[in-house]
Structure 1
Amino acid sequence: MSVTLDIRLKRANKVYHEGEALAGVVVLMSKEPVQHQGISLNMEGVVNLQLSSKSVGVFEAFYNSVKPIQLISSNIEVAKAGKVPGGKTEIPFEFPLLTKGNKVLYETYHGVFVNIQPQKAKVLPTPVDFTITPDTLQNTRERSLLPKFLIRGHLDATTCVISQPLTGEVVVENSQVPIKSIELQLVRVETCGCAEGYARDATEIQNIQIAEGDVCHSLSIPIYMVFPRLFTCPTLETTNFKVEFEVNVVIVLHDDHLITENFPLKLCRV
């Protein structure tokens, strides 16, 4: 006997917050009456942690600790044993969105090494000014071989509301060699771990060119970057995992030499 089952939520918008009710109907379709031993629904919310391939073999003890972190686990019976008549039957259900113990219901998020299956914060302006010269560059052994340049700028905030753009400006005061491009690179940093060790992986999730060619000196170039909805989430830091974000201001010289200035970001949802 053929029976089809579907779960339909009452709300078209599937965004829920802790404390709200997850309500809907179980829809059964059959041509003939169907006997059953009861119908129940189970709802789970978990955080899955996954090691990157480069960490395999490094943290053997880590594998036992990288287990799904359960945030929600609820089971309800929507119908006792009985018979469903032929045709279409709708059985209502409702789950309260309550976490287990003292767990936090993090925002649903799909990264590369951290996945969350289902906090608002105060955002204080944190502007930052920067100056880039050969002397300010890190991890550069032969600064004397670099051309002379002076680049200034600022970010309006490094603590950012995720629904609003990252803004600021960059100014090339002078440069001995022509500039090929100026770019903004958004990086997601996912860290998974425990007492035995941590695996940290950075992934470029967006790159925007804000200037092309040898730009005019002393000209203000606006910085404007919208945070991609599917690849960002509010900054998270827990015992077993972290999801953080950084932005790089990248200056590409005519010989494809890269000059990079890095800024950690804190993303919030208000």
Structure 2
Amino acid sequence: MATVQIRLKKANKVYREGDMLKGVVAITSKGDLQHQGITLFVEGSVSLQLSAKSVGLFEAFYNSLKPIQLLDSSLELVKPGKIPGGTEIPFEFPLKPKQGKSLYETYHGVFVNIQYLVRCEVRRSLLAKDLVKQQEFIVQYKDPSLSQGLERKVVEFRVSPESLDNVKERESVPRFLVTGHLDSASCVITEPLTGELIVEHSAIPIKSIELQLIRVETCGCAEGYAKDATEIQNIQIAEGDVCRGLPIPIHMIFPRLFTCPTLATNNFKVEFEVNTVIVLQDDHLITENFPIKLTRF
């Protein structure tokens, strides 16, 4: 029984455009291994898909939704022949995107997925199965220009029945007033989102106060776009009927891989929003939405 493993030199597997991807391919077998060549492939792509509600809206979508290749290279490590069991083959590979492309940050979304893989194939004779192993590595932005011009302005909010949108019968909404602020709507992805919220008064007792992180993914082309918002995480910042006039801290850490710096291209966008959600005892939901911009230094 023969196996192949890929071990990257960097334990955290985080790389940037222009870095050298270094590591070893370790091949284990009881005896000598006869093979038809050992090849390493380094691939990076953006996979796009439509939500069920958008399928069929635009025929042009199907052409624009083909995977976008950012990185596609191969390297022959060993020519056909025989190698002893326990062999380790070192490799190094420059991370250079295809001409006219850039390496976007690794991002695992619902309708947009940006992923980078290193794959090793040990080709064998017709009677033996090829050995294939792949390993994901993470790409982060190197250019700090994305954070230039980052304006950290406090975002004040004041939520009351009069400020709510899409409410048909405002008279039926319980009387309440919630104030507060976000320290900034322009956020560094490695730092938490912070601020505070104050319940000034509420006619109905409060059950819970929550903070939602939302991703807004847009796929499409000039003929049209499909835009979908999905929840990444929901954290409870208060439980029960909180004291009136007491500042409640807002603190949310952005999860790795499920967020990335805000990104806009011709074929897709990845944007983010935060919702503060106050759940009343009668299950009324009071929601305030804040578009935010993520960046990385």
Fold conserved (TM > 0.5)? yes
- Between the aligned partners of 1:112 and 1:36, the Cα distance in structure 2 is 39
Give the equivalent residue in structure 2 for 1:209: 236
Which amino acid in 2 is paired with 1:229? R
Give the percent of matched residue pairs that are identical in Structure 1 and Structure 2: 68
1:136 counterpart = 2:163: yes
1:43 counterpart = 2:42: yes
How far 1:207 moved relative to its partner? 1.4
Which amino acid in 2 is paired with 1:5? V
Give the equivalent residue in structure 1 for 2:9: 10
- Please list the CA deviations of residues 145-186 of structure 1 after superposition, one character each: whole Å capped at 9, or x if unmatched: 323222111000111111211111111222223222221111
Give the equivalent residue in structure 2 for 1:226: 253
- Between the aligned partners of 2:175 and 2:8, the Cα distance in structure 1 is 61
How far 1:34 moved relative to its partner? 4.3
- Between the aligned partners of 2:20 and 2:240, the Cα distance in structure 1 is 54
After superposing the two structures, state which structure 1 stretch, 229-238 or 65-74, moved more.
229-238
Q: Is the 8 A contact 1:8 1:26 kept in 2?
A: yes
Tell me how large the CA RMSD over aligned residues is.
1.8
- Between the aligned partners of 1:197 and 1:18, the Cα distance in structure 2 is 31
- Between the aligned partners of 2:108 and 2:215, the Cα distance in structure 1 is 12
- Between the aligned partners of 1:207 and 1:34, the Cα distance in structure 2 is 51
After the TM superposition, which residues 44-63 of structure 1 pair with which residues of structure 2 at under 5 Å, given as runs? 44-63=43-62
How far 1:35 moved relative to its partner? 4.5
- Between the aligned partners of 1:171 and 1:30, the Cα distance in structure 2 is 64
- Between the aligned partners of 2:227 and 2:281, the Cα distance in structure 1 is 33
Give the equivalent residue in structure 1 for 2:91: 93
Q: Is the 8 A contact 2:197 2:247 kept in 1?
A: yes
1:185 counterpart = 2:183: no
- Between the aligned partners of 1:221 and 1:29, the Cα distance in structure 2 is 56
SS at match of 2:103: coil
Q: Is the 8 A contact 1:74 1:95 kept in 2?
A: no
Give the equivalent residue in structure 2 for 1:71: 70
Unaligned runs of 5+ in 1: none
- Please list the CA deviations of residues 7-66 of structure 1 after superposition, one character each: whole Å capped at 9, or x if unmatched: 322222211111111112222334444454433222111010011122222223311220
How far 1:214 moved relative to its partner? 2.2
Which amino acid in 2 is paired with 1:214? D
Which amino acid in 2 is paired with 1:105? L
- Please list the CA deviations of residues 58-107 of structure 1 after superposition, one character each: whole Å capped at 9, or x if unmatched: 223311220010111111122234432x3322222211000111311111
- Between the aligned partners of 1:74 and 1:230, the Cα distance in structure 2 is 24
SS at match of 1:131: strand
After superposing the two structures, state which structure 1 stretch, 189-198 or 2-11, moved more.
2-11
After superposing the two structures, state which structure 1 stretch, 90-99 or 205-214, moved more.
205-214
1:23 counterpart = 2:22: yes
- Between the aligned partners of 1:243 and 1:154, the Cα distance in structure 2 is 24
- Between the aligned partners of 1:73 and 1:185, the Cα distance in structure 2 is 37
SS at match of 2:15: coil
- Between the aligned partners of 2:225 and 2:200, the Cα distance in structure 1 is 41
Aligned length: 268
- Please list the CA deviations of residues 99-146 of structure 1 after superposition, one character each: whole Å capped at 9, or x if unmatched: 111311111111111110133432331310011111111111221232
Give the equivalent residue in structure 2 for 1:104: 102
Find 2:201's aligned residue among 164, 171, 174. 174
Q: Which structure 1 residue ranges, 4+ long, deviate > 6 Å from structure 2?
A: none
Which amino acid in 2 is paired with 1:10? K
After superposing the two structures, state which structure 1 stretch, 180-189 or 30-39, moved more.
30-39
How far 1:230 moved relative to its partner? 4.1
- Between the aligned partners of 1:225 and 1:13, the Cα distance in structure 2 is 23
When the two structures are superposed, what TM-score results if normalisation uses the length of structure 1? 0.92
After superposing the two structures, state which structure 1 stretch, 128-137 or 53-62, moved more.
53-62
